[in-house]
Structure 1
Amino acid sequence: MSAAGANRIAGAGRLTPANTVRFTFDGKSYTGLQGDTLASALIANDVHLVGRSFKYHRPRGILSAGPEEPSALVGVRRDASRHTPNIRATVQEIHDGLDAVSQNRWPSLTFDIGALNDIGSPMFSAGFYYKTFMWPKAAWKHIYEPVIRNAAGLGVAPKEADPDNYAARYVHCDVLVIGGGVAGLTAALSAAESGARVILCDENAHPGGALRFEGEARLDGMAGHDWAVQAAGRLAAMDNVRLLTRTTAFGYYAQNFVGLVERVTDHLAAPEPDMPRERVWQVRAGKVIIAAGAIERHMVFANNDRPGIMLASAARTYLNHYGVAVGRKVGVYTANDSAYGAAFDLKRAGADIPAIVDLRDEPDAGLVEEAGVLGIRVLTGHAVTGAGGKLRVASMSVEPKKGGRTEVIPVDALIMSAGWTPSVHMFSQSRGKVAWDEETGRFLPGTYAQECASIGACNGTDGLEATVNEALAVGEAAAKAAHPKAKKPSVAISVGSAGKWAGGMVGAGPGAEAGKVVKAFVDFQNDVTAKDIRLAVQEGMHSIEHVKRFTTNGMATDQGKLSNLHGLAIAAEALDKPIPKVGLTTFRPPYTPTTFGAIVNHARGKIFDPMRRTPMHAAEAAAGAVFEDVGQWKRAWYYPRAGEDMHAAVNRECRTVREVAGMFDASTLGKIEVVGPDAAKFLNILYTNPFLKLGVGRLRYGIMCREDGFIYDDGVVGRLAEDRFHVTTTTGGAPRVLHHMEDYLQTEFPDLKVWLTSTSEQWAVIAVQGPKAREIVEPFVEGIDLSNEAFPHMSVAEGTVCGVPARVFRMSFTGEAGYEINVPADYGRMVWDAIYERGAPMGMCLYGTETMHVLRAEKGYIIVGQDTDGTVTPHDAGLSWAIGKKKTDFVGVRGLKRPDLVAEGRRQLVGLKVKDGKSVLEEGAQIVDNPKQAIPMKMIGWVSSSYWSENCGAPIAMALVENGHNRMGETLYVPMPDGVIEVEVCGTVFFDEEGGRLHG
């Protein structure tokens, strides 16, 4: 007995009796010990009822001692603003002031109105919602959906903003070891002593794994847990090792990228204010060693969910690590050797073990003999067919598995073990293929897809000595893979005795067979019974993935860690198929529930979607710019003067650019440096245009297609040297174009000597366009002759502007003579101010994106994503001239030859003249060729760009129209709410069709 709980055993466990902690559960105060989990502290205080189940609201207790816990989910409050629902009591460490509450019950945990669902359970069998809520159809939105949404979930989501901080780290290592049990510790020691950079993560507060409860294990002449503490200390002292406790590997992604989440302060009563609550580690490892162990399975029998019924390994953990007995009269039900160790430990600690019920006919004789010596009755060939009690288990009903007299044995706790399931979750997440081992009846790692290895129990390795030898070899091999000249590790581990874990079963046990109307639970969190699994098969679900969705087995927050194999076995039995033929559900990240805070991290509030500003933003704001959001960029939309609305400002800006000059901030354009001896060859493959013979100092407009032949992006490419190109992309296309290039360079053309660098943020870009553009910028430019003869349209040169190194591009997106001046971003504001100070007295204006759109539309220049929709080819867009006539290969060349892409009737980009001369069409408006046809009308196209053009004195528009290139001069119609607007199909160039203004 102890002040820290009536079930605390004096002298047992590894916690210090003097370190007491006060906490509350459902408003009642309790005492625990520092190092307790909420689960162990509650059991110490003889509290087993901790929650209610999701569907039936049945009383639920603590089933496990680890992250696989499906039932003991609680809400945890640190203060008024910190409430986290659905915390596993088996993982949450207690601290002074911890306030936990049960969930999914009203008005109280012991008396819950929702338990009426249990009485009406025949109405709520698997799949009932698919059949019940389909009629009447109108009732779904107004009746069914609100009720279901109110009933959904277990805990209540917090309404307050999350006040906690979260952190993230990016690290590389030679070897990442997932799991800190004997296998993980041994492999980490072996790899680390060979000189490899090692990260070892373990989800518990202290490494040790099964050694926390396995009291018989001996390593290097000491108790197993003592050895684990010493091994962890050795690793922590090594400079090439990072030991992460309270850290779960939650996701295994491509190229050995593994996500870890570390619980930093959840176990502290008063953490420092600047400490993060959790930290996400994003690890790229040369080799991943998975040492995730195995998960004990429960037995499937009637009422196996009563509080006080738990896994044998959990009971042993609570006793040997936390010093807590799970009951005073503990029944044991097993099909596995390891449960005997739990029974023996409890017996020696003073608990009464009225019987060990072993489903097997001939368990290990030595274990049966030892039980006899301890005075424990063993019933072989027997089964527990039901549990008595309600808010806590009170008895177990036992009978011979082949039929016979039922014996009711009083108990206040019942521990069970159906065997052990290798934890192949992380292996499966790596895209590895598991294989069914018929001899042992379990799925094991089979075909590997990444540089990883599984060791220990998760690899099906049985026995302590075999596990240690395997881990030593794999750790050494991983180090040598990273460093071929790695030294041989000096670590050697002698192995003594260990407990026995042989045997096991999957599926429903006696008393829960087909035809029995009992609640024998397979999935505790979602209230899925053996009967539900069989019903799913009866209803025609023959794939385990269908069974999963029909019953929700394995779809809860525990991801079926306990239930999946049982559900699979029951379905296989009902289908009369071998288990492998039924299939296995997919294991997906996260391995255990991960908070949104950890995932979102710093990306909250103002930096949820980070705002990007150009180097000239402050100057534009001072000039009165109205900004618009373009992706993450703030871009100047227009510059209104006193008394001007948007339309008046844009009209003025459009006239000024055509008549004098305008200055525009083009810094947001994507910019990619393509460098290397094969740079021209690479661009020649990526773009439809020819680039091999592009001269140094020249520019070329380029179209980039996908493999299917559709336009992906466009931009201007400048050749600065034989082996260096400056590539521009659309503002929104910068990241995807770089990704597109990298993808082809790494996967299709790895032999090309090319290097790609994003320089979008390096250069500030100032575009000066208009008849006086050269006169305005020429005084600031040194080292470049800007005359038409020396520097014609589509030229590029490097020199200085305002004394700053610069790249000057003679190009235009307005159709006027223009110069795009690229200077280092830090000097952008200075150069901008200098040019504006000279240009303003000459009549130059600043103009924004809206004016830019109008000016480019006047010239028929497209915007990818506005005048294209992912189904437009260069020919559709009127850009056939941009496809190299002599090119035999480029990305998209085969796609462009597909019959559908050269067929008649494709939607093609055309211009539209509005016949009334005043109506500005709505972008996205549909187009028809006969306005008098019946509704629904046949749409033949849509308006992609539409503006009032002050320079043309009329509205202008571009549209994608079926067979548009052959409809020139034809009248089409745009139906609008206020009437039908007549338009005439024309070319896409509305201003300066000959293009003479480009040359000044």
Structure 2
Amino acid sequence: MSPRRTTAGGQIDRLKTVRFTFDGAPFTGHAGDTLASALLANGVSLMGRSFKYHRPRGVLSAGVDEPNALVTVLRGAAREPNIPATAIEIHDGLRAESQNRFPSLNWDVGALNQLAGKVLGAGFYYKTFMGPVVGPLKGTRFWMFCEHFIRRAAGLGRAGTVADDTRYERMNAFCDVLVVGSGPAGLMAAKAAADRGARVILAELDPRFGGSANWSGETIDGTRAADWANDIVNGLKGRNNVRLLPRTTVWGYYDGNTMAALERVSDHKETAARGEPRHRHWTIRAKSVVLATGALERPLVFPGNDRPGVMLASAAQRYANQFGVLPGEKIALFTNNDTAYAAAAALGKAGANVTAIIDVRSGISDEARGLAASCGAEVLAGHAVVATEGGRALTDIKIQRFDQASGTVTGDARSIHVDGLLMSGGWSPVLHLASQAGAKPEWDDRLQAFLPPKPTQNWAGAGACTGRFATAEAIVEGHLTGLAAAGAAASAIEVPAVEPSSVAPQPAPVFEIKAEGKSFVDFQHDVTADDVRLAHREGFISVEHLKRYTTLGMATDQGKSSNVPGLAIMAETLGKPIPEVGTTRFRPPYTAVSIGSLAAERYGDLRPERLTPMHDWHLAHGATMYSAGLWFRPMIYGLAGETVEQAYVREAKAVRETAGIVDVSTLGKIAVQGPDAAELLDRVYTNIFSTLPVGKARYGLMLRDDGVAFDDGTTWRLGDDNFLMTTTTANAGKVMQHLEYFLDVVWPDLKVTVTSVTDEWAGAAIGGPKARDILAACVKGTAVDNAALPFMGIVHGEIADVPVMICRLSFSGEMAFEVYCGAGHGTHVWEALIEAGKPFGLVSYGLEALGTLRIEKGHVTGAEIDGRTTARDLHLGWMLSKKKPFIGSATMEREGLVAADRLQLVGIVALDNRPLNGGGHIVEALDENNPHGSIGHITACCYAPALGKYIALALVQGGKSRHGMRAFVSDPLRKRFGPVEIVSHHFFDPEGSRMHG
């Protein structure tokens, strides 16, 4: 039996032993344990070192609000730092290590920082290192000397450098009601909404649904609250209108009831199932949202409140009831509210020796005294803890009488021998999402807490996050909220009978116990009460300035435990009430979010799979498909035994020699119609479209309003007031939003409508020396010779009895034509073109060959129009009209956008004839051991069959002035180094004779 494990109770599986290591030492726990609970069960109280003073720290909480016990998890050679031990589910093979210590957690050289005392107070780095250096380094700034050492000491965990090879997913979901939090209020809200037929998503950050019902000890309808919650969850599981998301943190609330959530799918497993991601990121769009996010207990501010063995009372209650772990052998509680008494009773019931309850209030309710008597605890009303003693673990506390009115301690100190001190400074509703939704929190003096603001979006609060801490009230409110969210009247509600073992908080005002020693407000950043007062003396009296000067509430903690105590001390110093001082705005994310999940591809049943009309044909004819933006597109049509490179080289070569056909249905297509359609195009494009004749197309470039290139494409004039705009595949939605914004907000007087018609047209581009012959063999109703269909001309005809529209334009450098027809006829027309092309050697080709053709020709795409380049950077300055203003024209001449050293488009040829990689740097001098001196980077690369070389497009400083120069590619991540030549980006047929012939 582990030293602190109870003999029975908890929700762990005592029959299943789990083996893990912490700092290399082997430990065991049980299935259902967190790393924190398993270490506590093994008698480990020291779990970390603090940021600045390297003070020994133990676990403070039992949830995501943990500021102390941050660890690094090792997965193979990969490292993930700064994860709360309270949020890590142990599994066989788990390896974790402590942080911010050297050489070991027990013996940390950095602890010498504690001797520096006030020298390391708030903002010390702004004030200490600004003077001049004396001695041998005289003449340099002291900061320049110290910066290296300061940066090495900064931070907590050490990030890894090994590539993360785990898989991540992104998902989209839509629902009528999203319920965030699965405590009693959240469960009843979800049930009420589901009963009314609403589509419901219930998200819970813990592995088990039920929230505090899992460990509070309450009874509902005569049943243990945890069992009651489990029954509700089982009833929801069988419904097809309910989706349950455990281990899912809703971390961001955005406009239009769009919520961001992170699901930890396989972090709790030794090995993920085949195809299973590590994390899944959810974007949830909900008609209404129920926030049942609960509340977090606050610490008290007194000297020595950070010593290992000091934790929150609710955390200790949770460790006992959920994990079967006691926080110590002899325990005292220190409180300013009634809820600590329920924790004491629960711990006594679990077998803990509760010796005393120290309460700063002189008046204690009879109910609270009854709870104290049930566990045999002495109640010391009107007293406060003024010190803690011990080294790397708590051994004793000192208490004195406390005058709540003056906030001072009096009389002789009394020592009590304990190895666990549980504190409760009141409760802070978790209102982060409510605040993100668009308004400031509101202070409630009765509860001494900030409450959610009045909704500015379609959300409602339920339970403790609204300040209703009693479970009976929470359940009633959950019922009402769920029915309202489902759009129903709450005429008759059956409310379960609740027998709570907890009591309402009834807190004393938030304050600091003023006594000798360091009293910590923000445990994670070693911010003390003295630091808050120092910030005031130095003029940082705004809460936003206080946060940034002292680092109070920053990093992974985000003020979950420290915000209100810090504001209370600032308010006292200013002589103002807390609501006048205010609070910082909570910003997403609520907890840390893996970058992998944000950047992941979309998978699974909710992935928006966009397929072109010819998708099935591609699969039937050997295409290898991949995701390109929102679409599935052919990569290659590989032959047996071909590599990807061999396939795309064969396809691109065929286009140059005979003809090729590619599916371009994914291009964005926008109908621009109305009397002012031409005027709109003149304003959004850099070149003129009002002079474009009917039946002709023109290449156009758009800028953002800051003068940076935005998108390019062709627009076809189908009538005087009727244009068809095409955009790049990736920017179709962005261009549509761009146009709608300017029409709705900037130019509402223009008489023009824009309509996305991307999905209405199927498109095939056919190009090559034989392209015109193939069209002539199958098109009826129109000629396609040079006179009838000149470059950028448009004709209408039929292919296989289907009406088509044909425009002669080219991105490949060959004579080429785009053939559009109704989406429903796409495959029919495509097959007719394939059949007509057989005598001429027509091949179908995919995106790899398409990219090769465009690189050889020097055409730009999203890789070069990357949000940083200008028209001149891309050698498109000839498209900037001097006869009219356009979006971006007023800002494109800014000094930074016309600087001579800007990155400009060039071509790159590999002189060692080896493959190049996108993202590889271009350098003037090669240093493989210390790569540096980048003058640009590769944006796109390929083997060019037209040249017989490996080539690339790149953005390089000086651009055209470097043509003909030798340089090197430096790509240390992929170990690719070698000589290159910088040339024009027009590798192939720069005169354009082939596409104009």
In the TM superposition, what whole-angstrom CA distance separates every residue of 1:237-257 from its partner, at most 9, and x where no partner exists?
Answer: 222111221221122222222
In the TM superposition, what whole-angstrom CA distance separates every residue of 1:152-176 from its partner, at most 9, and x where no partner exists?
Answer: 3322323433233223322111111
Q: How far apart are the structure 2 equivalents of 1:42 and 1:446?
A: 39
Say if 2:522 is the partner of 1:523: yes
Once the two structures are superposed, the pairs formed by residues 466-865 of structure 1 within 5 Å of their partners are: 466-480=473-487, 492-505=495-508, 508-512=511-515, 518-602=517-601, 671-675=667-671, 685=680, 687-688=682-683, 697=695, 699=697, 715-720=713-718, 725-729=723-727, 734=732, 736-743=734-741, 755-758=755-758, 763-766=763-766, 778=776, 781-786=779-784, 795-800=793-798, 806-810=804-808
In the TM superposition, what whole-angstrom CA distance separates every residue of 1:883-913 from its partner, at most 9, and x where no partner exists?
Answer: 8xxxxxxx86xx98x9x9999xx99xxxxxx
Q: Of 423, 431, 438, which residue of structure 1 is paired with 2:438?
A: 431
* Residues 1:569 and 1:727: Cα distance change in structure 2 (over 3 Å): same
Partner SS for 2:354: coil
Q: How far apart are the structure 2 equivalents of 1:150 and 1:607?
A: 43
2:970 maps to which residue? Answer: none
**What letter corresponds to residue 216 of structure 2 in structure 1?**
E
* Residues 1:876 and 1:672: Cα distance change in structure 2 (over 3 Å): closer
Q: How far apart are the structure 1 equivalents of 2:468 and 2:7?
A: 36
Structure 2 contact 360–402 (Cα < 8 Å) conserved? yes
**What letter corresponds to residue 96 of structure 1 in structure 2?**
D
In the alignment, structure 2 segments of 5+ residues that lack a partner are: 133-138, 404-409, 604-624, 639-643, 844-850, 861-866, 899-960, 966-990
Q: How far apart are the structure 1 equivalents of 2:429 and 2:553?
A: 16
Structure 1 residue 878 displacement after superposition: 3.1
Say if 2:322 is the partner of 1:321: yes
**What letter corresponds to residue 93 of structure 2 in structure 1?**
G
* Residues 1:267 and 1:226: Cα distance change in structure 2 (over 3 Å): same
Partner SS for 2:235: helix
1:958 maps to which residue? Answer: none
Structure 1 residue 458 displacement after superposition: 0.8
**What letter corresponds to residue 540 of structure 2 in structure 1?**
M
2:150 maps to which residue? Answer: 148
* Residues 1:152 and 1:250: Cα distance change in structure 2 (over 3 Å): same
Say if 2:100 is the partner of 1:104: yes
Q: Of 164, 167, 170, which residue of structure 2 is paired with 1:165?
A: 167
Structure 2 contact 703–711 (Cα < 8 Å) conserved? yes
Structure 1 contact 506–565 (Cα < 8 Å) conserved? no
1:58 maps to which residue? Answer: 55
Q: How far apart are the structure 2 equivalents of 1:680 and 1:104?
A: 67
Structure 2 contact 355–377 (Cα < 8 Å) conserved? yes
Q: How far apart are the structure 2 equivalents of 1:95 and 1:864?
A: 45
1:259 maps to which residue? Answer: 260
Structure 1 residue 694 displacement after superposition: 8.7
2:25 maps to which residue? Answer: 28
Structure 1 residue 540 displacement after superposition: 1.3
Structure 1 residue 432 displacement after superposition: 3.3
* Residues 1:460 and 1:871: Cα distance change in structure 2 (over 3 Å): farther
In the TM superposition, what whole-angstrom CA distance separates every residue of 1:806-832 from its partner, at most 9, and x where no partner exists?
Answer: 532256899999865568696799599
In the TM superposition, what whole-angstrom CA distance separates every residue of 1:183-238 from its partner, at most 9, and x where no partner exists?
Answer: 101101110111111111111121222223322x3322323222112111111122
Partner SS for 1:447: coil
State the identity %. Answer: 40
* Residues 1:315 and 1:854: Cα distance change in structure 2 (over 3 Å): closer
Structure 1 contact 53–527 (Cα < 8 Å) conserved? yes
Structure 1 contact 703–714 (Cα < 8 Å) conserved? yes
Once the two structures are superposed, the pairs formed by residues 158-237 of structure 1 within 5 Å of their partners are: 158-215=160-217, 217-237=218-238
Q: Of 36, 40, 51, which residue of structure 2 is paired with 1:39?
A: 36
Say if 2:131 is the partner of 1:132: no
Aligned length, in residue pairs: 853
* Residues 1:669 and 1:534: Cα distance change in structure 2 (over 3 Å): farther
Structure 1 contact 686–741 (Cα < 8 Å) conserved? no
Structure 1 residue 721 displacement after superposition: 7.6
Q: Of 85, 90, 95, which residue of structure 1 is paired with 2:91?
A: 95
Partner SS for 2:385: strand
Once the two structures are superposed, the pairs formed by residues 334-349 of structure 1 within 5 Å of their partners are: 334-349=335-350
Structure 2 contact 215–318 (Cα < 8 Å) conserved? yes
Structure 1 residue 804 displacement after superposition: 8.9
* Residues 1:524 and 1:779: Cα distance change in structure 2 (over 3 Å): same
Structure 1 contact 639–847 (Cα < 8 Å) conserved? no
Q: Of 404, 426, 442, which residue of structure 1 is paired with 2:411?
A: 404
Once the two structures are superposed, the pairs formed by residues 220-299 of structure 1 within 5 Å of their partners are: 220-299=221-300
* Residues 1:34 and 1:251: Cα distance change in structure 2 (over 3 Å): same
Q: How far apart are the structure 1 equivalents of 2:693 and 2:494?
A: 64
What TM-score, normalized to structure 2?
0.74
In the alignment, structure 1 segments of 5+ residues that lack a partner are: 620-624, 628-633, 642-652, 654-660, 840-845, 856-862, 884-890, 908-973, 979-992
Structure 1 contact 664–848 (Cα < 8 Å) conserved? no
1:419 maps to which residue? Answer: 426
Say if 2:350 is the partner of 1:352: no
Structure 1 contact 262–280 (Cα < 8 Å) conserved? yes
Which deviates further from its counterpart, 552-561 or 117-126? 117-126
Structure 1 residue 504 displacement after superposition: 2.8
Q: How far apart are the structure 2 equivalents of 1:186 and 1:814?
A: 61
Structure 1 residue 552 displacement after superposition: 0.9
Partner SS for 1:321: helix
Partner SS for 2:43: coil
* Residues 1:283 and 1:867: Cα distance change in structure 2 (over 3 Å): closer
The structure with more radius of gyration: 1
Q: How far apart are the structure 2 equivalents of 1:262 and 1:873?
A: 47
Structure 2 contact 317–347 (Cα < 8 Å) conserved? yes
In the TM superposition, what whole-angstrom CA distance separates every residue of 1:449-474 from its partner, at most 9, and x where no partner exists?
Answer: 32111111111124222222221111
Structure 1 residue 124 displacement after superposition: 1.3
Q: How far apart are the structure 1 equivalents of 2:435 and 2:235?
A: 31
Say if 2:886 is the partner of 1:877: no
Q: How far apart are the structure 2 equivalents of 1:271 and 1:851?
A: 43
Structure 1 residue 793 displacement after superposition: 6.8
Structure 2 contact 675–751 (Cα < 8 Å) conserved? no
* Residues 1:32 and 1:721: Cα distance change in structure 2 (over 3 Å): same
In the TM superposition, what whole-angstrom CA distance separates every residue of 1:662-701 from its partner, at most 9, and x where no partner exists?
Answer: 999998898433359x667667545449999998745467
Q: How far apart are the structure 1 equivalents of 2:239 and 2:671?
A: 42
Q: How far apart are the structure 2 equivalents of 1:638 and 1:370?
A: 81
* Residues 1:686 and 1:255: Cα distance change in structure 2 (over 3 Å): farther
In the TM superposition, what whole-angstrom CA distance separates every residue of 1:375-401 from its partner, at most 9, and x where no partner exists?
Answer: 422121211111111111111111112
In the TM superposition, what whole-angstrom CA distance separates every residue of 1:525-581 from its partner, at most 9, and x where no partner exists?
Answer: 111111111111111112111111111111121211001111112122222233233
1:459 maps to which residue? Answer: 466
Say if 2:118 is the partner of 1:122: yes
* Residues 1:831 and 1:806: Cα distance change in structure 2 (over 3 Å): farther
2:930 maps to which residue? Answer: none
Q: How far apart are the structure 1 equivalents of 2:879 and 2:599?
A: 43
Partner SS for 2:571: helix
Q: How far apart are the structure 2 equivalents of 1:639 and 1:61?
A: 66
**What letter corresponds to residue 726 of structure 1 in structure 2?**
L
Partner SS for 1:117: helix
Q: How far apart are the structure 2 equivalents of 1:436 and 1:195?
A: 36
**What letter corresponds to residue 8 of structure 2 in structure 1?**
G
* Residues 1:804 and 1:400: Cα distance change in structure 2 (over 3 Å): same
Q: How far apart are the structure 2 equivalents of 1:42 and 1:167?
A: 32
Q: How far apart are the structure 2 equivalents of 1:106 and 1:828?
A: 72
Say if 2:451 is the partner of 1:449: no
Structure 1 residue 638 displacement after superposition: 11
